[in-house]
Chain A
Amino acid sequence: MLKLDNISMTVNDSNGGTREIIRNINAEFHPGKIYAITGPNGGGKTTIAKVIMGIYRNCAGNIYLNGEDITELSVTERAKRGIAYAFQQPPRFKGLNVKDLLQIARPSIDDKSLWKNLRDVGLCPEDYLDRDVGPGLSGGEIKRIEIAQVLSRNTVVSIFDEPEAGVDLWTVQRLIGIIMSKYKNNPHATAIIITHNENVLPVCDEILVVNDGMIQTRGTADEIWPLIKGDIECKMKDQCRGEMGYEN
């Protein structure tokens, strides 16, 4: 189980002062369950993910993974303990190809799994394994490769940051299936999905709504979905005029 115990994080703002971008976050993420974090842009969702991965350091509170206090551990140490994070905006690499990244993600990976991982995110392995993860790939392609890396690992906690962005509806449906079969009722693994997606949210066991750096409300999909459904549906139309995928 991953436990966030009263996590806050402050950054320096442009006027020389400080600003709390998340505060008093308390949450438990249990194995076998799928969690959604949703809420408006700028609410603090990515910040929570980065604090869990160790990319950002929280200035108050503690993080526990299966009882161990990991608050002081580095990104690498947390990765080795089974925390994985699929970036909202993954970086590009000149000279590293898709296969390289999947092999770094999972050093023991065999060819069969490499192929399966790419197909799972809607990419044809023949076309992509040797492609540079550089400027030649589209945002949607980079995003899928990012998700494939996390899916390829054996993790305790996997966080997907807006996996639906730039990914077509068919692949989103397929991803939901894969995430369900990989994490639901798995006694060792938890998935946390940062999402606004109307197809993803209803399948999650618990939804946390983050707004203004705080958990505004939380509950089962049945409880929360009706509350946010209106917002999300109209937001979808706003941002993409009815097409799937939108920025940030």
Chain B
Amino acid sequence: MKINQLDMQLLNTISNLNGVPDGAVNIRLDGKAVLRNSTPNIKISSKENGSGLVVEVRPGTRNETVHVPVLLTSGGFVDKVYNTFIVGEDSDVTIIAGCGIHNDSHSNSRHDGIHEIVVKKGARLKYIEKHYGEGSGDGKRILNPTTTVTVEKGAFAEMEMVQIKGVDDTYRSTVATIHEKGSLKIVERLMTHGCQSAESDISVCIEGKDGSGQVLSRSVAKDESYQVFKAALTGKTECIGHVECDSIIMDNARIKAIPQLVAEDSGAILTHEAAIGKIAGEQLIKLMSLGLTEKEAVETILAGFLR
């Protein structure tokens, strides 16, 4: 199967790729792998039961990037996948996942992706997942990503999850476990518009001594859209955890933010901050006094906020 112009554009939007990348890659288009490439350090293979991929990063691998984008372009396609990523001990790699849906049809397109990530002892992982939808049909574009991540002893993971446009319905579940001296930072960026609804449910459990967890979410809700943000942070031992959810609300949108802290040890230091508000009038006026129109000022503020 060939990758056409439209697919290429979608691919570029979700992963900034302008062609086939060097290194390890698996491009999934409408349920099938259209391109797969392993490297000596990163092996990509299919699971025996055919439910998805296994990506194995050899211990000690440094500065390599794996691309595993998913594209849905035939209208009404429902895709389900279960991928496993094993990031080997002391390695340092980037995984770029993401899903782009183009739906011109009247039936719903849906991708339910389960990613199970294990960051082994002393490894460093940067994980980037971008979600995007487009298309002219009234069929919905639905994405339900589930991510489970285990950060082993002394490992570090930063996960950036971005959904900026065009996804009608999303339920995102992220479950993380952090072991001794492990560190996890989850950064979420979300924009909803029209009648979209998005729910993100993050649960981080710090099990190991001196572990640390951070959840930083910024979102913008426009028009009639609805967002729910749940972040539960549990500290079972001496550890540090912080949750921050900061939202800009516009038009007739609704936002519900539910941060939750559970400390099961007196040495757990857990904090949260949550704020929902519209764009401050002073900010608009400031930018207008530099020559921007009101519309430009709003766009500038939102783009900065979600950057």
Residues of A within 8 A of B (CB): 53, 55, 74-76, 78-80, 84-85, 87, 90-91, 93-96, 100-101, 104-105, 149, 153
Contact = CB atoms under 8 A, between A and B. Distances in A.
Nearest to A152: B290
A90 B291 contact: no
B290 A96 contact: no
A149 B282 contact: no
B291 to A, nearest CB: 4
A76 to B, nearest CB: 5
B79 interface: no
A242 to B, nearest CB: 32
Contacts of A76: 288, 291-294
Interface of B: 218, 246, 280, 282-283, 285-294, 300-301, 303-307
B291 A80 contact: yes
Given A91-B280, A93-B283, A94-B246, A75 B304 contact: no
B285 A94 contact: no
Given A55-B285, A75-B285, A76-B291, 20 more contacts: A55-B289, A74-B288, A76-B292, A76-B293, A76-B294, A79-B290, A79-B291, A85-B289, A87-B286, A90-B286, A93-B304, A94-B304, A94-B305, A100-B300, A104-B287, A104-B290, A104-B291, A104-B292, A105-B291, A149-B290
Given A55-B285, A104-B300, A95 B305 contact: yes
Contacts of B305: 94-95
Contacts of B306: 95
A91 B283 contact: yes
A117 to B, nearest CB: 14
Give the most central of A53, A84, A104: most B CB within 10 Å: A104
A227 B105 CA distance: 78
Contacts of A149: 290
Give the most central of A95, A101, A149: most B CB within 10 Å: A95
Nearest to A103: B290
Contacts of A78: 289
13 contacts: A76-B291, A76-B292, A84-B289, A91-B286, A93-B304, A95-B303, A95-B307, A96-B301, A100-B304, A101-B290, A104-B292, A105-B291, A153-B290
